[in-house]
């Protein structure tokens, strides 16, 4: 069956290269190429997801080389039993893989076998019956309103160079004031500025959403561009590093580590924590879940509902502190 050619995404291997890198028989490599092209062109998966899926499938077929005594064919894949898949999971567990990574790995494998089933190449009920491990229900850890304000104020002076301080403030203001993911803020080009009252953001799964822009965010970006020493054209990145190249997520993480240390904030104060803070503070201020879901770009309302738990947990914490203080005064 002919498949449309998929255009490689920057950072992700092309379908042909992805297939060749997997130690499998030629017939399996052909289907891996088709599956990978499907993920790239039809599912429109992000580069990070494509890279993870490819890595997981490669590890699976490396295991099968040892497990079966040679490169797996399509016929071998159809004969695999639940015990074979469990042996692979057990091997990866022994290698130190944690539950969250195991869950992602199984998701990658199910995706490949579902594709084979849907395209009528082969069917393996055991592969489709694989269950992911239960994951701990971790709540987001937002900053307090004061903590977020202190971080923004410190960002402007922490770098020493005024233009870098203005840049860092602009980036963090977009995370906290607009609820953007770090990748979304850093993917903006110079053509996006001057910012208008709303931004059209392309998020996970290439889903678009409209995000209102606060005046503080517009002013922060304008101030950064006034101080930026590089003559950026509309096709250049909006946020650049010291060499004029697009600012990357590692640089933002390093910036946050520096700010945490300067302010004595916990390790949970990460770039993504500012997005959590945006949602939590909106909810505490009376925002409704459905609106917050749209602003964050969550596919499911259940994902957004975790912020109600954060808000409730914070109220209980305040109540407990008040009760402790009341008891202390009573017996003091």
Q: What does the pLDDT average to over 275-281?
A: 67
Percent of the chain past pLDDT 90, that is, above it, reads 42
Cα(30)–Cα(317) distance, rounded to whole angstroms?
56
Percent of the chain past pLDDT 70, that is, above it, reads 76
Q: Helix, strand or coil for residue 22?
A: coil
182: tokens are 């770090």
Beta bridge partners of 42: none
| Cβ partners under 8 Å of residue 274, min gap 6 | 143, 148, 151, 172, 175, 176
Cα(227)–Cα(166) distance, rounded to whole angstroms?
8
Average pLDDT, the chain: 80
> Which stretches within 21-144 are classed as H helix?
26-41, 47-68, 74-79, 82-94, 99-118, 125-128
> Which stretches within the chain are classed as H helix?
15-20, 26-41, 47-68, 74-79, 82-94, 99-118, 125-128, 145-158, 162-178, 182-186, 215-227, 249-263, 271-284, 289-296, 301-304, 306-331
pLDDT of residue 332: 58
Q: What is the band of 152 on the pLDDT scale with cuts at 50, 70, 90?
A: confident
Identify the sign of the CA torsion 176, 180, 181, 186.
negative
Beta bridge partners of 199: 211
Q: Which residue ranges form the domains of the chain, and what is each CATH number?
A: 15-128 (1.10.150.130), 145-322 (1.10.443.10)
Model confidence over 209-251: pLDDT tens digits? 787 888 888 999 999 999 999 999 999 999 999 999 999 999 9
Model confidence over 58-87: pLDDT tens digits? 999 999 999 999 999 999 999 999 999 999
Q: What is the band of 203 on the pLDDT scale with cuts at 50, 70, 90?
A: confident
Catalytic residues: 181, 204, 272, 275, 298, 307
Cα(80)–Cα(84) distance, rounded to whole angstroms?
6
Task: Indicate the burial class of 26 (C-beta count within 10 angstroms; 0-12, 13-18, 19 or more).
Answer: exposed
pTM: 0.51
Looking at the predicted structure, is the pLDDT value of residue 308 above 60?
no
């Amino acid at each position: 069956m002919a498949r449309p050619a998929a255009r490689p995404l920057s950072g992700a291997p092309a379908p042909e290269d992805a297939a060749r890198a997997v130690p499998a028989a030629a017939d399996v490599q052909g289907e891996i190429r088709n599956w990978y092209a499907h993920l790239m062109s039809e599912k429109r998966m992000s580069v990070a997801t494509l890279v993870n899926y490819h890595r997981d499938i490669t590890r699976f077929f490396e295991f099968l080389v040892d497990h079966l005594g040679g490169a797996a064919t399509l016929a071998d894949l159809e004969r695999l039993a639940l015990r074979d898949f469990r042996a692979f999971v057990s091997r990866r567990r022994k290698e130190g893989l944690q539950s969250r990574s195991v869950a992602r790995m199984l998701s990658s494998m199910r995706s490949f076998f579902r594709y084979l089933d849907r395209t009528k190449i082969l069917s393996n009920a055991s592969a489709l019956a694989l269950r992911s491990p239960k994951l701990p229900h971790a709540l987001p850890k937002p900053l307090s309103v004061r903590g977020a304000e202190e971080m923004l104020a410190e960002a402007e002076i922490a770098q020493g160079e005024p233009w870098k301080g203005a840049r860092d403030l602009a980036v963090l203001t977009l995370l906290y004031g607009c609820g953007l993911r770090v990748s979304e803020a850093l993917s903006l080009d110079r053509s996006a500025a001057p910012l208008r009252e709303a931004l059209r953001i392309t998020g996970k799964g290439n889903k678009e959403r409209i995000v209102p822009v606060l005046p503080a965010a517009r002013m922060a970006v304008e101030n950064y561009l006034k101080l930026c020493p590089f003559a950026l054209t509309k096709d250049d990145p909006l946020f650049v590093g010291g060499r004029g190249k697009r600012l990357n997520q590692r640089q933002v993480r390093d910036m946050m580590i520096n700010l945490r240390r300067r302010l004595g904030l916990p390790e949970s104060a990460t770039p993504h924590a500012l997005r959590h803070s945006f949602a939590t503070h909106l909810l505490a201020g009376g925002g409704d879940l459905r609106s917050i879901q749209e602003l964050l770009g969550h596919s499911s309302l259940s994902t957004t509902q975790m912020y109600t738990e954060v808000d409730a947990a914070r109220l209980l914490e305040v109540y407990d502190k008040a009760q402790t203080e009341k008891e202390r005064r009573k017996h003091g």
